[in-house]
């Protein structure tokens, strides 16, 4: 194989893996939850079939909505794709990488949230406004945890590009800086749970008025719009999961295939862990969630202190 073709493949593989396998993560979580409740669970390809079904449908728009409502899912999916393009898969570097891309990463997460919230407010429904206000509150608390946690890793690895940072988290680094990296992984785990509306912060399957956070904001979207939102949510879970697994699974053999295999095994374990948490825990009371997120920020700050010493 020529050098150029090899480079092209190295660039395409991380992106294609995420695009293809992200919905499968949802199936794994669903299967684990089904196992705990004694059911068999959905077919492996159910999320893909759901997306296909939704894409074939037409969309209905309320007369009170404007172009913002229609732009929401499209901008959201586009921003998620950009996040995915910057996300390395363990030792396999991302197609798009440059100095300081971790700030763009955090900003794009903010953009996804902003456009979802604005589209929800555009419907004029007080119910969606309530969900939007909760989402904004919790993500405002989760953002410091994410940024400070990334700052700790950036300080430790002396790089401000996600690909370099994740690639530098090796097994030797875990041996010398284990406690700090462990704290960052816990903080990022809590951010992942918050950003993706998972238990214990939010229940992705709830349809009870008082408890919905993320789910309530997308109630008015239908057809292809809903397909975009669901696919975007799956990709976001994949991207943040990839960041977490990249930090937590320090397998850097230098062989891309082995690294990718270890990474995919890590993602599978992450999905199983999410499923087990969702089966064994209840949602936290809304009032207690800020405490959890401030705690995550505190852990990230502690990690920075441990790295700086």
Partner 1 sequence: MSVGVEGVIALLVITDLLLLGSSRLRSCITVAALQGAVVSLLPVLLHGDEGWVRAWSLTVGSMLLKGGVFPWLLRRVLRESGVRREVEPFVGHTLSVMVGVAALAFAVWVDARLALPASAAGHAPLLVPAGLATLLVGLFLIVSRRTAVTQVLGYLVVENGIYAIGVALVGGVPLLVELGVLMDIFVAVFIMSIAAYHISREFDHIDVDQLDRLRG
Which residue from 194, 283, 270, 227 is spatially nearest to 25, judged by alpha carbons?
270
Stretch of residues binding partner 1 (CB under 8 A), selected from 10-18, 109-117, 154-162, 289-297: 289-297
Instruction: Kindly state the smallest distance separating residue 297's Cβ from partner 1, in Å.
Output: 7
Q: Give the number of other Cβ atoms within 10 Å of residue 89's Cβ.
A: 26
Instruction: Name the nearest CA neighbour of 237 among 5, 27, 13, 12.
Output: 27
Residue 295 is a binding residue for partner 1 (CB under 8 A): yes
298 contributes a contact to partner 1 by CB under 8 A: yes
Of 88-96, 124-132, 246-254, 291-299, the window that binds partner 1 (rule: CB under 8 A) is 291-299
167 binds partner 1 (CB under 8 A): no
Residue 264 lies near partner 1 (rule: CB under 8 A): no
Among 179, 255, 257, 273, interactor with partner 1 by CB under 8 A = 179
Question: What separation in angstroms does the CA of 62 have from each of 122, 133, 224, 235?
Answer: 10, 22, 15, 28
In whole angstroms, the minimum distance from the beta carbon of 280 to partner 1 comes to 19
Minimum distance of partner 1 from residue 178's CB (angstroms): 5
Cα-only R_g, the chain = 19
The string over 47-83, giving b where at least 16 C-beta atoms fall within 10 Å of a residue's C-beta and e elsewhere, is bbebbeebeeeeeeeeeeeeeebbebbebbbbbbbbb
- Tell which positions 182-211 bind partner 1, by CB under 8 A: 182-183
- Segment contacting partner 1 (CB under 8 A): 5-13, 189-197, 259-267, 294-302? 294-302
Stretch that binds partner 1, among 49-57, 61-69, 98-106, 178-186 (CB under 8 A): 178-186
With CB under 8 A as the contact rule, which of the stretches 24-32, 83-91, 130-138, 300-308 interacts with partner 1?
Answer: 300-308
Q: What is the nearest approach in angstroms of partner 1 to the Cβ of residue 291?
A: 5
- 301 binds partner 1, rule: CB under 8 A: yes
| Angle made by CA atoms 97, 102, 106, in degrees to the nearest 5 | 130
Q: Which is nearer to partner 1, 86 or 307 (CB)?
A: 307
Site for partner 1 in 141-160 (CB under 8 A): none
Q: Which of 117, 175, 214, 234 binds partner 1 (CB under 8 A)?
A: 175
Which residue's CB is nearer to partner 1, number 237 or number 306? Answer: 306
Report, in Å, the least distance between residue 216 CB and partner 1. 24
Of 124 and 178, nearer to partner 1 (C-beta) is 178
Q: What residues contact residue 146 under an 8 Å CB cut-off, 6+ apart? A: 106, 109, 187, 188, 191
Pick 55 or 281: Cβ nearer partner 1: 281
Residues in contact with partner 1 by the rule CB under 8 A? 175-176, 178-180, 182-183, 290-291, 294-295, 297-299, 301-302, 305-306, 308-309
């Amino acid at each position: 194989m020529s050098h150029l073709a090899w480079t092209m493949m190295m660039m395409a593989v991380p992106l294609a893996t995420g695009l293809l396998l992200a919905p499968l993560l949802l199936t794994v979580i669903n299967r684990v939850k089904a196992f705990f409740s004694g059911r068999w669970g959905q077919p492996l390809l159910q999320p893909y079939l759901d997306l296909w079904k939704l894409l074939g449908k037409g969309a209905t728009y309320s007369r009170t909505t404007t172009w913002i409502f229609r732009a929401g899912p499209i901008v959201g999916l586009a921003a998620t794709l950009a996040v995915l393009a910057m996300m390395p898969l363990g030792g396999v570097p991302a197609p798009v990488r440059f100095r300081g891309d971790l700030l763009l990463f955090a900003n794009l997460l903010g953009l996804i949230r902003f456009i979802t919230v604005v589209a929800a407010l555009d419907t004029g429904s007080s119910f969606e406004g309530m969900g939007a206000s909760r989402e904004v509150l919790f993500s405002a608390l989760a953002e410091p945890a994410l940024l400070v946690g990334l700052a700790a890793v950036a300080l430790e690895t002396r790089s401000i590009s996600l690909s370099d940072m994740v690639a530098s988290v090796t097994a030797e680094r875990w041996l010398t800086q284990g406690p700090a990296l462990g704290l960052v992984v816990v903080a990022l785990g809590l951010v992942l749970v918050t950003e993706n509306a998972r238990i214990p912060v939010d229940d992705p399957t709830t349809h009870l008025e008082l408890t919905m956070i993320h789910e309530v904001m997308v109630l008015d979207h239908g057809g292809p719009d809903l397909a975009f939102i669901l696919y975007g949510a799956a990709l976001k879970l994949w991207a943040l999961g990839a960041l977490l697994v990249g930090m937590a699974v320090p397998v850097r053999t230098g062989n891309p295939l082995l690294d990718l295999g270890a990474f995919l095994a890590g993602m599978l374990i992450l999905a199983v862990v999410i499923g087990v948490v969702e089966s064994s825990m209840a949602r936290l009371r809304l009032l207690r969630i800020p405490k959890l997120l401030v705690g995550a920020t505190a852990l990230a700050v502690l990690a920075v202190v441990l790295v700086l010493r």
